[in-house]
Amino acid sequence: MSDCIFCKIVNKEMSSTIIFQSTNVIAVMDINPVAPFHCLVLPKEHYTSILTIDPGIMVEITSAIQIIAEEHDLEEGFRVVNNCGKYGQQTVDHVHFHVMGKRQFEWPPG
């Protein structure tokens, strides 16, 4: 999608700190981190949300998260978040998974 910032990141039309790439998935550091470690794992192809993503790509996303956790020393734990739609407060309509770590999180979230 031409006006999607994450498509622009995937196509290298916008700069980002890429920390992982596989056939269908990319991970970049979040521009506005809410934890000492905060990256976004997303499909290279544009899908609006978890409601429309090809479920097969979730396997590759899971694999990406496992590799990122290993490479970035998240062995004490971390949080994976997918914000979906209005109630989920999704602000970028290209499905992505926040991986946040290196601090203590609370439950339930706000």
**Contacts with Zn ion, residue ranges (CB under 5 A):** 1, 4, 6-7, 46, 94
The site partner of 46 among Zn ion, ligand 5GP, none (C-beta below 5 to 8 Å per kind) is Zn ion
Q: Which of 26, 48, 39 is nearest to 81 (CA)?
A: 39
Record the tokens describing residue 19, joined without a space: 């920390």
Nearest-approach distance from CB 32 to Zn ion, in angstroms: 18
Span from 46-54, 55-63, 71-79, 85-93 in contact with ligand 5GP (CB under 6 A): 85-93
Helices marked H in the chain — which ranges? 5-10, 55-71, 85-88
Residue 92 interacting with ligand 5GP (CB under 6 A): yes
Give Cα 104 to chain centroid, integer Å: 19
To the query of whether residue 96 is one of the catalytic residues in this protein, the response is yes
For residue 75, give the 3-state DSSP assignment. Answer: coil
Beta strand segments in the chain, E: 18-21, 25-29, 37-43, 78-81, 97-101
Span from 57-65, 68-76, 89-97, 102-110 in contact with ligand 5GP (CB under 6 A): 89-97
In the complex, which residues of this chain contact ligand 5GP (CB under 6 A)?
Answer: 5, 14, 16, 28, 30-32, 40, 83, 89-92
Q: Which residues are catalytic?
A: 96
